[in-house]
Amino acid sequence: MLVLMDDRQAALQRWACAALGLDVSQTGWQAVAGEASARRYFRLLDGSRTLICADAPPATEKNAEFLMVQSLLAAAGLPVPELLASDLQQGYLLMEDFGRQHLEDALDRERPPPDYLGALDLLLRIQAVAVPSGTLPDYDAALLGEEFGRFQDWFCESYLRMTLGQEERDVLSELGRLLIEDAQAQPRVLVYRDYMCRNLLLKPGGGLGLIDFQDAVVGPLCYDLASLLKDCYLVWPPAQVRAWALDYRRRLLEAGREAADSDAVFLQWFDWIGLHRHLKVLGNFTRLSLRDGKHTYLKEIPLVLQHIGEVLPRYPAFGEFSTWWQQRLAPRLAQVDWQEAAP
């Protein structure tokens, strides 16, 4: 089969084959589905064996961070791909192949399979990892604030072309303050930061495999739990989500870990950090469209809006923002067909 390559792909294949002692002419090469970042993945075929080659341009990608987190998680016995070779200067990585099936591919929306609930087991193990001081960045107020700002900057102003008055900006600023303070009140753990069904692979031999963990930080306990149970690409019944969240709290307590003084506080942590994430995601998805020409993520926005709509009515503290959302933002959203949307 003829595979068209650009120069960087060809160089990556030659580098990987040299690292393995293989003849390029005797190997196959396949592109793997793309993602939101500038990283590209390719599958190197050597007879019955396949490996993953990553083209991660060093100017834009966190390659050193990827290797550091990979080493940290591997040392804790977590299922990360084995690293076979790396070249940080060129931005090349050669890794074990966990296969083609994401957890999302196996989901039955009516009845989640054991592997989905297994993701909660795996998260307990991730959050138990002891992170040496200074190893990972801190998910601090500055980073939380920058993320929250993407909602206003990219979603409201850049994509929807809204002109926000000072009173509106004050409403958003107050919401950001509430969410950041709540996030900082939570116990601090290793945060994967994008722990969701598209970043969990079903390994051929069974079990789940972790990928795309280079953005890991130390931060709020409930962030990854919300990323998984309030996934941007699927929606479970709210009562089921809350039951899973509370069962997770029970398991944390049984393991002797911090998990809030009550179910109500834990659910607030879970809901509020989930709201922070979904507002950020609205900014991320529209930024990908406007800045990077990646429009496919716009089709996922209705699910993200659904997550937000489920949380806002539960908490009186969101009253001003909820009113603003209904009176000012909702009419603009109603004008957009997200399945056909483009800038």
- DSSP for 154-167, please give it: IIIIIIS-----HH
C-beta atoms surrounding 224 within 10 Å: 25
What's the pLDDT at 192?
95
Q: Which of 37, 32, 42 is nearest to 9 (CA)?
A: 42
101 and 202 Cβ atoms separated by less than 8 Å: yes
143-174 residue pLDDT tens: 999 999 999 999 999 999 999 999 999 999 99
Give the rounded distance of the alpha carbon of 50 from its chain centre: 26
- What percentage of residues in the chain have a pLDDT greater than 70? 95
Per the CB < 8 A criterion, the answer to whether 152 and 172 are in contact is yes
Please give the CATH number for the structural domain made up of 7-96. 3.30.200.20
Cα–Cα separations (whole angstroms), residue 212 to 69, 93, 216, 322:
10, 13, 9, 34
Amino acid making up residue 289 = S
Whether the predicted pLDDT of 341 surpasses 80: no
Residue 106: its pLDDT value, please?
A: 78
Task: Return d(Cα 61, Cα 271) in angstroms, integer.
Answer: 30
Instruction: Say what the pLDDT of residue 2 is.
Output: 40
Q: How far is the C-alpha of 173 from the C-alpha of 177, rounded, in Å?
A: 6
Tell me: pLDDT of 102 over 50: yes
Q: How confident is the model at residue 180 (pLDDT cuts 50, 70, 90)?
A: very high
CB 46 within 8 A of CB 66: no
Quick check: 13 pLDDT over 80? Answer: yes
Q: What is the pLDDT of residue 340?
A: 82
Confidence label for 4 from pLDDT (cuts 50, 70 and 90): low
* Cβ neighbours of residue 148 closer than 8 Å, sequence gap 6 or more: 175, 176, 179, 180, 276, 279, 280
The overall longest dimension of the chain from CA atoms, in Å, is: 65
Range 8-23 average pLDDT = 92
Q: What is the DSSP letter of 107?
A: -
Cα separation, 106 vs 202, whole angstroms: 9
Delimiting residues of CATH 3.30.200.20 domain(s) in the chain: 7-96
Residue 109: helix, strand or coil by DSSP? coil
Residues 197-219 have a mean pLDDT of: 91
Q: Please tell me the predicted confidence (pLDDT) of residue 47.
A: 82
pTM of the model: 0.92
Q: What is the pLDDT of residues 47-89, one digit of tens each?
A: 878 999 999 998 888 899 999 999 999 999 999 999 999 999 9
Q: What is the pLDDT of residue 256?
A: 96
- Which H or E element spans position 178? helix 166-184
- What is the pLDDT at residue 1? 36
Where in the chain do CATH 3.90.1200.10 domains reside?
A: 113-196+218-333
Residue 157: CB atoms within 10 A of its CB come to 13
> Which residue has better confidence, 22 or 323?
323
Distances, alpha carbon 314 to alpha carbons 154, 238, 265, 281, 309, in Å: 26, 12, 13, 21, 10
Please give the class, per CATH, of domain 113-196+218-333.
alpha beta
- Give every CB contact of residue 278 below 8 A, 6+ residues apart in sequence: 230, 232, 304, 307, 308
